[in-house]
């Protein structure tokens, strides 16, 4: 079983839609939960991170963690064409483990 | 402006050649990392360094080598022993060794074997 599972997509939605991106994990030792955004041919940039179950909000972005189900989500409200990118979940313990990334396109 | 600079942006390697990827940071960070990114596989850790003159193998170190002679520099050599080197290589740094996502990434080097 993979430590992290992330649907690679691609996911295409119209501008203004609510986007839901998800990852599941199997390693109970993971203590930190992160979302990165990566534009084409660029390095990833950290969007959000949290270490507890529940929701964390930052502008149009909400990160949700459910440790009991080993499931994390990223919600994007009022999606914009500039949100088009690959989104990677990542998990921290004794190392950083990344999901494979979901390619997202927001259509004007 | 502070940041991480990777060079070159694109690199072509012939079979059997060693190539070196450059990574320089002016953030005064102690920790530096090298990741490899392949389609459908996310990022995988090759090597990391906590301080000057010290580095540790990551999950896929075979066929790679690094050095950390200066705080600001962490070059990666892809040797001929690496059988499938075509990939996107990312360098990152953080103030201290951290697995909580506080690392800043460079813009990457795309290596292609020809």
Give me the pLDDT at residue A9, please: 84
The pair of three-digit structure tokens given for residue A20, joined into one six-digit string: 């839901």
Give me the pLDDT at residue B98, please: 77
Mean pLDDT, chain B, whole residue set: 92
Give me the pLDDT at residue A57, please: 96
Q: How far is A5 from chain B (nearest CA, A)?
A: 10
pLDDT in tens, A61-70: 999 999 999 9
Give me the pLDDT at residue B55, please: 97
The terminus-to-terminus CA distance of chain A in angstroms comes to 38
Give me the pLDDT at residue B1, please: 63
How far apart are the C-alpha atoms of B35 and B76, rounded to whole Å?
Answer: 10
Q: Does B40 touch chain A (CB under 8 A)?
A: yes
Residues of chain A with pLDDT under 70: none
Q: Contacts of residue B100 in chain A, CB cutoff 8 Å?
A: 32, 34, 49, 51, 92
How far apart are the C-alpha atoms of A55 and B45, rounded to whole Å?
Answer: 29
Prior bond of A10 cis (ω within 30°):
yes
Contact yes or no for B32/A91 (Cβ under 8 A): no
Give me the pLDDT at residue A8, please: 81
pLDDT in tens, B9-35: 999 989 889 999 999 999 999 999 999
How far apart are the C-alpha atoms of A47 and A61, rounded to whole Å?
Answer: 9
- B75 SS3 class: coil
Give me the pLDDT at residue A70, please: 95
pLDDT in tens, B52-67: 999 999 999 999 999 9
Q: Which residue in A32, A43, A98 is closest to B108 by CB distance?
A: A43
Give me the pLDDT at residue B76, please: 98
Mutate to test the interface with A, among B101, B103, B110 (most CBs of A within 10 A): B101
Ramachandran category for residue A35: left, alpha or beta (phi over 0 → left; psi -120 to 50 → alpha): beta
Does pLDDT of B104 surpass 80? yes
Q: Inspect the interface and report whether the beta carbons of A43 and B102 lie closer than 8 Å.
A: no
Question: Searching chain A, which residue's CA lies closest to the CA of residue B48?
Answer: A95
What is the rounded radius of gyration, in angstroms, for the C-alpha atoms of chain A?
13
How far apart are the C-alpha atoms of B46 and B69, rounded to whole Å?
Answer: 18
Does pLDDT of B47 surpass 90? yes
Give me the pLDDT at residue B88, please: 96
Q: H helices then E strands: how many in chain A?
A: 0, 11
Q: Which residue in A34, A42, A45 is closest to B108 by CB distance?
A: A42
How far apart are the C-alpha atoms of B97 and B95, rounded to whole Å?
Answer: 7
Q: How far is B60 from chain A (nearest CA, A)?
A: 13
Q: Does B97 touch chain A (CB under 8 A)?
A: no
Give me the pLDDT at residue B71, please: 97
């Amino acid at each position: 079983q993979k430590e992290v599972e992330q649907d690679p997509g691609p996911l295409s939605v119209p501008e203004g839609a609510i986007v839901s991106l998800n990852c599941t994990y199997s390693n109970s030792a993971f203590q930190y939960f992160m979302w990165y955004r990566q534009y084409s041919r660029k390095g990833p940039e950290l969007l959000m991170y949290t270490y507890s179950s529940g929701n964390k909000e930052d502008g149009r972005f909400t990160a949700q963690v459910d440790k009991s189900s080993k499931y994390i989500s990223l919600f994007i409200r009022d999606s914009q064409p500039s949100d088009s990118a690959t989104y990677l979940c990542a998990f921290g313990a004794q190392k950083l483990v990344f999901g494979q990334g979901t390619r997202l396109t927001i259509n004007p | 402006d502070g940041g991480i600079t990777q060079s070159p942006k694109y690199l072509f390697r012939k079979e059997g050649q060693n190539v070196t990827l450059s990574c320089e940071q002016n953030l005064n960070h102690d920790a530096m990392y090298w990741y490899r990114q392949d389609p459908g596989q996310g990022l995988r850790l090759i090597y990391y360094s906590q301080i000057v003159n010290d580095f540790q193998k990551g999950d896929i170190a075979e066929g790679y080598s690094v050095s950390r002679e200066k705080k600001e520099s962490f070059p990666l050599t892809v040797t001929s022993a690496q059988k499938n080197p075509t990939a996107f290589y990312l360098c990152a740094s953080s103030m201290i060794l951290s697995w909580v996502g506080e690392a800043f990434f460079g813009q990457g080097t795309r290596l292609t074997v020809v």
